[in-house]
């Protein structure tokens, strides 16, 4: 597999010592304080690395006419690196920052007035392209050997082994004669930031194009209106590690004298869309067999058929790299996180085989005596089949007599292919009573519906909507394939300041209500008749659902409780001795006198201060204790929120997060506009296949171990991941660290076992196994990286880190981590080239664009315009997402709808998320898994408008609609089928927002054009690439 590096080349003024705390040659940092990432083996409990979104002012429009040569575009915040101070490695997310790191490296986002639509790009794309082609320098880099001199710069001795021939590379190279001497002003952290040169690709573009001697540095967009240089704000420079992130402070787009430069052509830098399309072209529609250890699967965006032949399907497990470095020194040097994203209940398409269930009767699953790993393809049978050696701990075990089988001529059991546990990567075991609570078989789970019947919910029609929907939805409760009806029992509670329980026993003529007004000490007033089988009690339940809206029709109670509601549901499940889910429909801050009472603590003054992190923490401790009790009792909480103001999602969503539940939020809920979205979410959730009362453990072969876990999970100790429930959309991201050297022959083996109760009440074990390679060559590690899994890991670790660290620091660590991984590749794996070239490993060439998207996410950007609840909500959703969901969330899909092929089945190819890709005469669909936009240009053809909206012209389109009318024409049908296709793969229902060019809602849409500068001050992709390149050059100099 060729590994191409991408190379970009800003000329840098002077070489500088390594980033504070790192010795220039990437040796071990000269300080004993390892905070987190790859520090000493005991540091794994430190907070994790994460990802964050950065800030670059959105107000910068491109110059009109051809830009003059020269200005250095990007702000360079504090790039001066004094002596490295101990304690300042930007290793991973650290604990509270040492006092010396107070330099304003990511200064506060300041809010300044900007034009409403600043980003009009004026240079025509054709002209830009022409400029690019003139200046493109195309070299042909064949593989060559790395001179040994390159490994000597302060490199730890352990790496001076033989080096692989470097891979072929794609480079972004700067033509000769293009160095513009930077201004000497580096005092106030505003020093010139070079920009990216054109990319020269080396996959076979013919012939060198003569370089253009007049080409000055190419650059991103010039500063926009409204930004003044403010050097004085920042005080003296601090020594130590400080990162600059382009445009991270007002005046940041270096307002330095001098002529401007040509704008870099975005087509010349790595495109995520190109990477996705190339993978589809080479691997789409094919069968991917998991029969080889360490092979890299197709991307999450590629449709293929997966055949389990001994390693778990990538639908269940994806890794950040499929080849682990053999030693911890190598791992520290590359700083590539070693992690797996595990989605144990992922949906398998109908054309793939569902999991086999193995039942060994009363003896139960066969396990290694020493490490307790379950029988799997990594066990080696010896002595004629009488014993086996565990692949995880190498212990020799006896084969139980009932399981004995002879071996064939290659030492494999004769029944190898007949037993799923010997030949497949994923399968299930029926568990014995030893695996059950109190050694008793579990009962089927229960669903309890808990409805807030306060004034607002009754008045808005929400309560009636929920009750009407439940009448039909309860017929669709999930069941096992072979069963006629669902075994799940249901119960009903309504509440405002008090709780109302309902007895819906099948023998009753009318439901009975019991009120619990002592919300301080909640108890369940009835056992018999609260949880019932819907089919048996159908008439009583339907009667109740008809009565609820009427019963509370005259209420004027506006205060609500919340924690006692969860407590009541949990106590009911506990009394019934079963696990289950609570479906809570709630709309306001719980201000009534009761446990868990909350106040409005939303304070914009905390943004960009060290106290900002408190906004993401629960405001009272009682919710954590409640979550712990829920998990202990197998009670999962699904929360549907309908707020019209601040409701403190960070506190209210905590129990949902810890219990493996799902949080849904519908701001300013309007019955007609928002019902379809809410009802679709509710239906999906009720019908989901789910494992209840689950506990997951990840075992590894010797030499490394799981150290950190991220997800909608609760951890009582360091090894057991507890989930009151786990559904098909929830993923747990697990980070691994070395505790010894890994053996290249035996590789790195991982087994994930989930013990759970099925929807029919059977206790089962779901096992997923995967084998990875190990290598002492860094190039092998880089070659098998998966960018989408890395993005998932960085997002979750950053989003966890913000609970304990300042956001500014989390963003810095992300930028530094990106630069460090790429610099290590450049130093150890790439063919020699000029320092001014940016070289990216092929498997990671689009990592910078995803990292920049993460840095710009609302969670990591503290701006007063972004509601705190929205940030807490996004944070919580991302924490439990799988790889496919984070990929779409951070880099949305943008489709040109005007070029639909009405005859075929094909969907138009996606476009890069940038305003340059939109056209006035087109219609574009954008989806990120939570929102969906249909953007219409002012000159969209009338026939297209007629076909989709049944109105004659652009002016007649109403942006109030949240769905397209059902029309009988090919255009409308095709677009509807595309919308359904995108929707079918995502856990959340996306509400369609119609956006007309140059109208106010366009501002919301623009935030999703993630390659552009952000309205909230995040860098464009081009600027970020320059910033990362500058970091790399500093690390290497």
pLDDT digits (tens, 9 = 90+) for 464-489: 999 999 999 999 999 988 888 999 99
Residue with tokens 């292919």, as numbered in its chain: 417
Q: What percent of the chain has pLDDT over 70?
A: 75
Burial 596-631 (b: 16+ CB within 10 A, else e): bbbeeeeeeebbbeeebbebbebbbebbbebbbbbb
Read out DSSP for 781-809? HHHTB-HHHHHHHHHHHHHHHTTTS-HHH
pLDDT of residue 268: 87
Pick 1037 or 487 by higher pLDDT: 487
Is residue 159 pLDDT above 50, yes or no? no
Is residue 796 pLDDT above 50, yes or no? yes
pLDDT of residue 126: 40
* Alpha-carbon span 530 to 527, nearest angstrom: 6
Is residue 236 pLDDT above 50, yes or no? no
Is residue 839 pLDDT above 90, yes or no? yes
Indicate the pLDDT class of residue 169, thresholds 50, 70 and 90.
low
Q: pLDDT tens, 656-668?
A: 999 999 999 999 9
Indicate the pLDDT class of residue 952, thresholds 50, 70 and 90.
very high
Is residue 844 pLDDT above 90, yes or no? yes
Chain mean pLDDT for the chain: 81
Of 14-23, 121-130, 376-385, the poorest mean pLDDT is in 14-23
Pick 578 or 151 by higher pLDDT: 578
Read out DSSP for 111-125? -----SS-----S-H
pLDDT of residue 836: 83
Burial 948-978 (b: 16+ CB within 10 A, else e): bbeeeebeebeeeebebeebeeebbebbeeb
Taking residues 566-576, report their average pLDDT: 97
Indicate the pLDDT class of residue 975, thresholds 50, 70 and 90.
very high
Indicate the pLDDT class of residue 146, thresholds 50, 70 and 90.
very low
* Alpha-carbon span 512 to 168, nearest angstrom: 75
Taking residues 897-914, report their average pLDDT: 88
Is residue 916 pLDDT above 50, yes or no? yes
Taking residues 113-130, report their average pLDDT: 39
Q: pLDDT tens, 856-890?
A: 999 999 889 999 999 999 999 999 999 999 999 99
Of 111-120, 332-341, 677-686, the poorest mean pLDDT is in 111-120
The continuous run of DSSP H or E covering 324 comes out as strand 323-325
* Alpha-carbon span 624 to 254, nearest angstrom: 46
Q: For Cα atoms 837, 839, 843, give the angle at the middle one, nearest 5 degrees.
A: 165
β-pairing verdict for 635-641 and 580-586? parallel
* Alpha-carbon span 198 to 134, nearest angstrom: 10
Neighbours of 738 (CB within 10 A): 23
* Alpha-carbon span 571 to 524, nearest angstrom: 7
Is residue 216 pLDDT above 60, yes or no? no
Inter-residue contact 448 to 504 (CB < 8 Å): no
Is residue 150 pLDDT above 80, yes or no? no
Nearest to residue 224, comparing CAs of 242, 200, 251, 191?
251
Is residue 166 pLDDT above 60, yes or no? no
Q: pLDDT tens, 719-751?
A: 999 999 999 999 999 999 999 999 999 999 999
φ, ψ of residue 775 in degrees (nearest 5): -150, 150
Indicate the pLDDT class of residue 235, thresholds 50, 70 and 90.
very low
Greatest mean pLDDT among 122-136, 205-219, 222-236, 794-808: 794-808
Pick 85 or 817 by higher pLDDT: 817
pLDDT of residue 862: 86
Of 36-45, 406-415, 789-798, the poorest mean pLDDT is in 36-45
Taking residues 410-428, report their average pLDDT: 97
Estimate the crossing angle of helix 970-984 against helix 942-949, to 10 degrees.
60
Q: pLDDT tens, 983-994?
A: 998 999 999 999
pLDDT of residue 835: 83
Is residue 232 pLDDT above 60, yes or no? no
Indicate the pLDDT class of residue 262, thresholds 50, 70 and 90.
low
Q: pLDDT tens, 510-533?
A: 999 999 999 999 999 988 999 999
Q: pLDDT tens, 581-606?
A: 999 999 999 999 999 999 999 999 99
Of 241-245, 287-291, 398-402, 637-641, the poorest mean pLDDT is in 241-245
pLDDT of residue 901: 81
Indicate the pLDDT class of residue 172, thresholds 50, 70 and 90.
low
Taking residues 285-314, report their average pLDDT: 97
What residue spans of 768-901 are helical by DSSP H? 778-783, 787-801, 807-828, 847-855, 868-879, 883-890
pLDDT of residue 1015: 83
Q: What percent of the chain has pLDDT over 90?
A: 70
């Amino acid at each position: 597999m060729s590994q191409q590096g991408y190379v970009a080349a800003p000329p840098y003024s002077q070489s500088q010592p390594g980033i504070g705390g790192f010795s220039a040659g990437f040796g071990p940092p000269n300080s004993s304080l390892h905070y987190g990432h790859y520090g000493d083996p005991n540091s794994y409990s430190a907070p994790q690395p994460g990802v964050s979104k950065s800030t670059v002012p959105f107000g910068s429009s491109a110059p009109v006419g051809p830009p003059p040569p020269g200005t250095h575009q990007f702000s360079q915040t504090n790039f001066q690196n004094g002596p490295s101070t101990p304690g300042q490695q930007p290793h991973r997310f650290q604990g509270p920052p040492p006092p010396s790191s107070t330099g304003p490296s990511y200064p506060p986002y300041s809010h300044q007035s900007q034009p409403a639509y600043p980003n009009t790009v004026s240079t025509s794309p054709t002209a830009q392209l022409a400029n690019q082609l003139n200046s493109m320098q195309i070299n042909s880099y064949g593989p060559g050997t790395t001179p040994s001199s390159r490994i000597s710069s302060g490199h730890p001795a352990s790496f001076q082994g033989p080096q692989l021939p470097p891979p072929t590379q794609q480079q972004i190279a700067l033509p000769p004669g293009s160095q513009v001497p930077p201004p000497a002003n580096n005092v106030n952290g505003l020093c010139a930031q070079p920009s990216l040169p054109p990319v020269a690709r080396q996959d076979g573009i013919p012939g060198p194009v003569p370089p253009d001697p007049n080409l000055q540095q190419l650059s991103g967009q010039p500063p926009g209106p409204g930004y003044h240089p403010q050097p004085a704000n920042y005080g003296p420079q601090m020594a130590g590690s400080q990162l600059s992130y382009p445009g991270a402070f007002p005046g940041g787009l270096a307002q330095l004298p001098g002529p401007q430069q040509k704008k870099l052509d975005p087509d010349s830098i790595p495109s995520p869309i190109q990477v996705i399309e190339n993978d589809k072209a080479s691997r789409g529609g094919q069968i991917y067999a998991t029969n080889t250890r360490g092979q890299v699967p197709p991307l999450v965006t590629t449709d293929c058929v997966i055949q389990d032949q001994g390693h778990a399907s990538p639908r269940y497990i994806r890794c950040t790299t499929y080849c682990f470095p053999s030693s911890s020194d190598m791992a520290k040097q590359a700083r590539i996180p070693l992690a797996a994203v595990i989605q144990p209940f992922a949906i398998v398409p109908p054309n793939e085989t569902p999991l086999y269930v193995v039942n060994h009767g009363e003896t139960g699953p066969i396990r290694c005596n020493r490490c307790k790993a379950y029988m799997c393809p990594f066990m080696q049978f010896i002595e004629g089949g009488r014993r086996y050696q565990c692949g995880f701990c190498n212990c020799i075990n006896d084969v139980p007599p009932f399981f004995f089988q002879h071996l064939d001529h290659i030492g494999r059991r004769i029944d190898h292919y007949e037993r799923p546990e010997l030949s497949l990567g994923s399968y299930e075991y029926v568990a014995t009573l030893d695996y059950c609570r109190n050694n008793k078989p579990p009962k089927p789970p229960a669903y309890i519906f808990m409805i807030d019947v306060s004034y607002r919910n009754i008045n808005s029609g929400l309560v009636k909507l929920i009750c009407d929907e439940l009448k039909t939805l309860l017929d669709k409760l999930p069941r096992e394939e072979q069963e006629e009806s669902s075994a799940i029992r249901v119960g009903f509670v309504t509440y405002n300041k008090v709780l109302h329980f309902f007895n819906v026993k099948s023998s009753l003529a009318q439901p009975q209500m019991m009120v619990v007004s002592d919300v301080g000490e909640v108890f369940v007033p009835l056992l018999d008749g609260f949880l019932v089988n819907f089919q048996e009690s159908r008439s009583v339940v339907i009667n109740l659902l008809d009565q609820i809206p009427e019963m509370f029709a005259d209420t004027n109670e506006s205060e609500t409780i919340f924690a006692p509601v969860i407590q009541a549901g949990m106590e009911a499940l506990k009394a019934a001795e079963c696990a289950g889910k609570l479906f809570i429909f709630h709309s306001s801050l719980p201000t009534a006198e009761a446990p868990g009472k909350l106040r409005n603590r939303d304070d914009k003054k905390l943004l960009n201060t060290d106290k900002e992190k408190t906004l993401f923490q629960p405001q009272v401790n009682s919710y954590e204790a409640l979550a712990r009790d829920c998990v202990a009792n197998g009670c999962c909480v699904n929360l549907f929120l309908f707020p019209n103001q601040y409701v403190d999602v960070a506190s209210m969503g905590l129990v949902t997060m810890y219990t493996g539940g799902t949080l849904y939020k519908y701001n300013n809920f309007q019955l007609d506009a928002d019902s379809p979205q809410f009802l679709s979410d509710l239906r999906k959730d009720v019908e989901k296949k789910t494992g209840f009362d689950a506990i997951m453990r990840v075992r590894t072969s010797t030499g490394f171990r799981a150290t950190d876990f991220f997800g909608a999970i609760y951890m009582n100790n360091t090894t057991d991941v507890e989930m009151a429930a786990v559904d098909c959309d929830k993923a747990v991201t697990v980070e691994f660290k070395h505790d010894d050297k890994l053996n290249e022959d035996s590789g790195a083996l991982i087994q994930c076992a989930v013990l759970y109760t099925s929807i029919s009440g059977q206790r089962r074990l779901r096992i997923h196994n995967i084998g990875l390679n190990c290598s002492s060559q860094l190039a092998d590690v880089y070659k098998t990286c998966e960018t989408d899994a890395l993005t998932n890991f960085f997002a979750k670790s950053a989003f966890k880190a913000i609970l304990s660290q300042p956001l500014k620091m989390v963003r810095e660590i992300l930028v530094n981590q990106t630069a460090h991984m790429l610099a290590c590749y450049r130093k150890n794996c790439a063919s020699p080239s000029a320092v001014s070239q940016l070289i990216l490993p092929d498997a990671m060439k689009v990592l910078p664009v995803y990292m920049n998207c993460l840095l710009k996410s609302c969670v990591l950007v503290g701006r007063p315009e972004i509601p705190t609840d929205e940030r807490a909500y996004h944070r919580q959703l991302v924490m439990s997402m799988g790889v496919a969901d984070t990929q779409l969330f951070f880099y949305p899909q943008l489709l040109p709808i005007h070029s639909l092929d009405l005859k075929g089945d094909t969907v138009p190819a996606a476009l890069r998320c940038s305003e340059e890709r939109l056209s006035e005469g087109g219609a574009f669909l954008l989806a990120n898994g939570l929102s969906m936009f249909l953007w219409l240009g002012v000159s969209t053809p009338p026939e297209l408008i007629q076909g989709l909206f049944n109105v004659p012209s652009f002016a007649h389109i109403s942006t109030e609609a949240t769905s397209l009318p059902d029309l009988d024409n090919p255009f409308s049908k095709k677009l509807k089928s595309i919308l359904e296709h995108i929707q079918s793969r995502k856990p959340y229902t996306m509400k369609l927002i119609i956006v007309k060019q140059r109208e106010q809602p366009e501002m919301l849409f623009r935030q999703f054009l993630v390659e552009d500068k952000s309205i909230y001050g995040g860098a464009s992709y081009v600027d970020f690439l320059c910033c990362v390149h500058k970091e790399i050059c500093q690390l290497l100099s």
